[in-house]
Amino acid sequence: MIILEIEDSRHFLRAEDEELMRRCAESALAVEGLALPVVVYCRITDDREIQVINREQRETDRSTDVLSFPSVAYPAGQTARNARALLEAEYDPEMNAFFLGDIILSHEHVVAQAQEYGHSLSRETGYLLTHAMFHLMGYDHMNDHDRMVMRAHEKAAMNAVGLFREEENRLTDEELITLAYEAREFAYAPYSEYKVGAALLCEDGRVFKGCNIENAAYPNTYCAERTALVKAVSEGARKFTKLAITGSGSTPYPCGACRQSLYEFAPDLEILIAWDGNVIHTSLPELLPNGFGPSSLGK
């Protein structure tokens, strides 16, 4: 849950843009897997004021589109989802939420960039808000790897609210694998110690992530692929185009039960299997030839 406190004293925003910004912020939190209630302050201003703030706070004397000021100094390699203790130190009792940081957004830049890139104002506003949210959660783009990771998260968040145009919609294989590796970090595997992550790409651009969740009663264990699938179907998704599965130490091929579960919805699913720097490109027809699905029942 997010409390997005928007200060727009000059009434740059339309009511629908404010609602979209809240949806984008919620989507960014969901992609990060951050379940804490958080509060974010967002000031909508012009180029002149954002230039002053940029100069005073960052010693850069120029205007820009958006500035982000996280409340937490994240240690190297950590983001909001694995820095809970640091975020808990930012608890605001009046808001009953954890302060994530401040965002300053230049409406002048929104208008100019929307025109330059052929976007709607809503799309540009939503993108900049999403971009800033991931900065508040510890992401950056100072090198190629960090840029790719952050971009994958932005795409996943914006796809979930339908903001990418078709030609921008598709995550690259590398981006989908990155999301699967991130899902793997949440795996609960105390018995096998074999952690698996999955990222399932929907036809509409949404991405659902899952990890394996073991159980002392072994048959009750959930595989990463089925975790992602159940999450997706429970949110109304029915059509899927690609799945990334990640592990370590050996090739994390999906088990027979997962193959059958996936075949129910996506018999032609493309599958990426990644481990220890290796990637195999395969498909569900290859892994489950002559599969049994709805068409087998005449449905």
Distances (CA, A) of 207 to 131, 179, 199, 201, 235: 17, 9, 6, 5, 11
Which residues are catalytically annotated?
225
The secondary structure of 211-242 as a DSSP string is E-B--SSGGG-B-HHHHHHHHHHHTT---EEE
- Residue 231 tokens, joined: 């999450």
Domain with CATH 3.40.140.10 in the chain: 175-297
CATH class of 2-167: alpha beta
Topology given in CATH for the domain delimited by 175-297 = Cytidine Deaminase; domain 2 (3.40.140)
pTM equals 0.75
Instruction: Give 152's pLDDT tier (boundaries 50, 70, 90).
Output: confident
3-state SS track over 99-129: EEEEEEEEHHHHHHHHHHHCCCHHHHHHHHH
pLDDT tens by residue, 114-141? 899 888 888 899 999 999 999 999 999 8
Reported as a single tens digit per residue, the pLDDT across 163-190 is 765 445 567 899 899 999 989 999 999 9
**Long-range contacts, 263-269 (Cβ 8 Å, 24+):** 263/288, 263/291, 263/292, 263/293, 264/293, 264/294, 265/229, 265/233, 265/238, 265/239, 265/240, 266/239, 266/240, 266/241, 267/291, 267/293, 267/295, 269/240, 269/241, 269/242, 269/243
**Within the chain, which residue ranges are assigned CATH 3.40.390.30?**
2-167
User: Which residues lie below 8 Å from residue 65, measured CB to CB, with a gap of 6+?
Assistant: 105, 106, 109, 110, 113, 128
Report pLDDT digits (tens) over 265-299: 999 999 999 999 999 999 999 999 999 988 888 75
Type of residue at 61 = D
Q: Angle 144-160/121-136 helices, nearest 10 degrees?
A: 130
